[in-house]
Chain A
Amino acid sequence: MKSIKKFDYYILLEKITPLIAVILALLVGAIVILIIGEDPIFVYKTLFSNAIGNRDGWGNVLFRATPLIFTGLAVAFAFRCGLFNIGGEGQVLIGSFLATWVGFTFTDLPAFILIPLCILAAAAGGALWAAIPGLLKAKRGVHEVIVTIMMNWIASSLTFFLVLKFKAPATEAMKAAGVQQMIPHTSEIAQAARLPRLYTILKALNIDFPSYNQVNVSFFIALAAAALVYYILWKTNLGYEIRAVGYNPLAAEYGGINVAKNIVLAMVISGALAGLVGTNEVMGFKYRWRQELFTGLGFNGIAVALLGKNHPLGVVLAAILFGILNYGGAIVNIYTEGRIPRELIMVLQAVIVIFVVISDEVVKRLIRKRRKLA
């Protein structure tokens, strides 16, 4: 049927607006690079070939993508209920700290208990931190945007206090390198709480992979989380109610759905997803807690969710793209001897967001116009 074909074309266009936005943003980036006096082609070639041209690159990309998958899912899930969870930063901090604390406190437990316990703690910490703005919104109608942002700053101070309380001395390695312990950190988590690196798994399968690469099992936890989010949203009663509230709270109420309950649940699940970042940074990488491990993750999660159109599959892909940009940006910074700051990537990401949002509206309007004439 002809009319359906025409709509399909525009619906396809709607789905590839993220790609259009990324390309436009890269163009803008190229212009900025030119203005600085560097060669955009060299920059982009370096970026992409190092990021995805070899196994080590991929490992680094996936390692950086993992926390973005978690925070991206968190933002996307909350958004499905009509909520803006800008509090990813704080939820990440609290959740990961709680996981660390469990990790270095219950050192006598075996791995098959301690690891799930730590993962649970990470999720619980984030969930708790998100429950506060969720309850304020559900019970008192306080808008969650400013509250979640304030909670970020409170979490930052709180965890800083906690890390001082649980401070561990500088490691031997740091002393040997003469590095002063500027940033406080906690003691290490028990061996039984650590997630194996991808290297160890691949080695067992006789696949070559650099042993120093940080990508670890947490990446698979992130993928599992994405699958879980998909399942919850589209295959369960809870997801039905959350999406109903997100689209039309008045109709949801009319249909017997408890709007307040679902708002809180959505925020709690969202916070739990964000908290899981701790599995990557702490359980899979540093094995101790340091505050700057987590900077910028919450806000980047928003960019990833937007780019991924608030869908778990999109979030995973968008997170990988950002992982490529992040790692590639670091490499470019080294290759240009610091002439191109890594923050260029941050700027690019923000430009991507703006373009995504604009192109979304443009396509939406095109579809609406066609529908009127059809």
Chain B
Amino acid sequence: MFGSIFNADFIASSIRIAIPLALAGLGGVFSERSGVTNIGLEGMMLTGAFTAVAVTNFAQNPWVGVLGAILVGILLGLIHAITCITFKANQIVSGVAINLFASGITVFFSWLLFNETQIMAKYSLPIWGFPIPIKGEGYSWVRSLIVIFTHYSPLVYFTIIIIILSHFILFKTPFGLRLRSVGEYPEAADTMGVNVNKMRYIAVMTSGALAGLAGSFLSLEQAHFFVKEISGGRGFIALAAMIFGKWTPLGTAGAALLFGFGEALAIRLQSVTAVPVQFINMVPYLLAIFVLVSAVGRAVPPAADGIPYEKEIG
């Protein structure tokens, strides 16, 4: 029984579940490291999911769909940025508004363009890597390796690259240094000539792009369809992963993977235990709460996170 649960497919499953969490969580990292809370990741992911399917079906090309999702994510990020940075509105309220907006507009266009609330993705991205050998043929450890490392949607490989890139950008480049200073002590950064608002705009729009990308993976690559509220709270779980990962790209990715394991395990346990499926469904959310409670005190957010920057004008 143990072997039937913890095998190569389990790991691959976990990775796939973790991808949207990691991407959205990474978006959260950029945004909050610059000092802007982004609760709207859920809505950006949802809109990205819809856009990916819609654009894919119209353009008959999944790559264009992914691109569309990213662009829409950037657009929503821009709205959040304008509201929070230029108008200095409450960042949580703005995030909630974006989620409301996304819920409405995705179904709205769903009806308008397809006359349906569930839209099948007509295309999806090709799998990159080696094909999985049929069970029984060849060595089983070769099969395991292929399944775990080389049989994924291109977006999975992109995600890993983006995570590593983000780590270097955040901690080894001037851009990253300035971004972090803006999120910790914007007044000091300002006196050093760093443009606080510009950095924040870039960070928030980046978070939108990543959340949109996360959504495209969800609808194009995992589910192969769009249905309303398909994001299912993942945008918020991603925030929990970000907090558990101490606002670092690698930490967030690790936490996302943990969530992936948790959910994959829960799904597999379904077939083995008598626990009703609804309780299994609760696992990711309970895990997120547990993560948040344990992170208190240990994980400290950027000092200026959530506080609009007011220049002291003479």
Q: Which residues of A contact B (CB under 8 A)?
A: 36, 84, 86, 136, 140-143, 145-147, 149-154, 157-158, 160-161, 164, 296, 299-300, 302-303, 306, 338, 341, 343-351, 353-354, 357-358, 360-362
Contact = CB atoms under 8 A, between A and B. Distances in A.
A358 B285 CA distance: 32
A32 to B, nearest CB: 9
A143 B289 CA distance: 10
B100 A341 contact: no
Contacts of B144: none
Contacts of B104: 343-350
Given A153-B233, A341-B112, A346-B107, A361 B87 contact: yes
Interface string B265-282: 000000000001011011
B297 interface: yes
A153 B279 CA distance: 11
Chain A: interface secondary structure?
helix
Nearest to B239: A146
B282 A361 contact: no
Given A149-B233, A150-B289, A158-B278, 19 more contacts: A136-B293, A140-B296, A142-B293, A149-B236, A153-B232, A154-B282, A154-B285, A157-B282, A164-B278, A299-B99, A303-B97, A306-B93, A341-B110, A346-B103, A347-B101, A353-B96, A353-B97, A354-B101, A357-B93
10 closest A-B pairs by CB = A346-B104, A350-B101, A341-B111, A161-B278, A343-B108, A350-B100, A347-B104, A353-B97, A150-B285, A357-B89
A140 B108 contact: no
Given A154-B286, A161-B278, A361-B87, A302 B111 contact: no
Interface in B101-127: 101-105, 107-108, 110-112, 115
Contact of A347 (B108, B279, B289, B297): B108
A317 to B, nearest CB: 19
B307 interface: no
Query: Which has the most chain A C-beta neighbours within 10 Å: B79, B83, B98, B102?
Result: B83
A360 B233 contact: no
Contacts of B94: 354, 357
B97 A153 contact: no
Query: Which has the most chain B C-beta neighbours within 10 Å: A140, A303, A347?
Result: A347
| Interface size class, chain B | 35 or more
B245 to A, nearest CB: 14
A353 B95 CA distance: 11
A306 B92 CA distance: 12
Interface string B124-140: 00000000000000000
B255 interface: no
Contact of A344 (B39, B97, B108, B293): B108
A350 B227 CA distance: 20
A140 B88 CA distance: 29
Nearest to A132: B289
Contact of A360 (B89, B97, B110): B89
A353 B93 contact: yes
Contact of B101 (A142, A151, A351): A351
B64 interface: no
A353 B99 CA distance: 11
B87 A341 contact: no
Nearest to A364: B88
Contact of B105 (A141, A153, A343, A357): A343
Query: Which has the most chain B C-beta neighbours within 10 Å: A142, A349, A350?
Result: A350
B26 to A, nearest CB: 17
A318 B93 CA distance: 17
Nearest to B88: A361
A143 B91 CA distance: 14
B276 A141 contact: no
B7 interface: no
A164 B110 CA distance: 30
Query: Which has the most chain A C-beta neighbours within 10 Å: B92, B104, B110, B297?
Result: B104
Contacts of A348: 104
Nearest to A159: B278
B189 interface: no
Interface in B221-279: 232-233, 236-237, 239-240, 276, 278-279
Contact of B296 (A84, A142, A158, A347): A142
B96 A299 contact: yes
B194 interface: no
Given A161-B276, A299-B99, A361-B87, A146 B282 contact: no
A10 to B, nearest CB: 18
A160 B278 contact: yes
A157 B278 contact: yes
B90 interface: yes
B160 interface: no
A141 B299 CA distance: 12
Contacts of A341: 107-108, 110-112
Nearest to B80: A354
Contacts of A157: 278-279, 281-282
Contacts of A151: 285, 289
B111 A358 contact: no
Contacts of B276: 161
B96 A86 contact: yes
A338 B176 CA distance: 49
Contact of B96 (A136, A296, A302): A302
B107 A361 contact: no
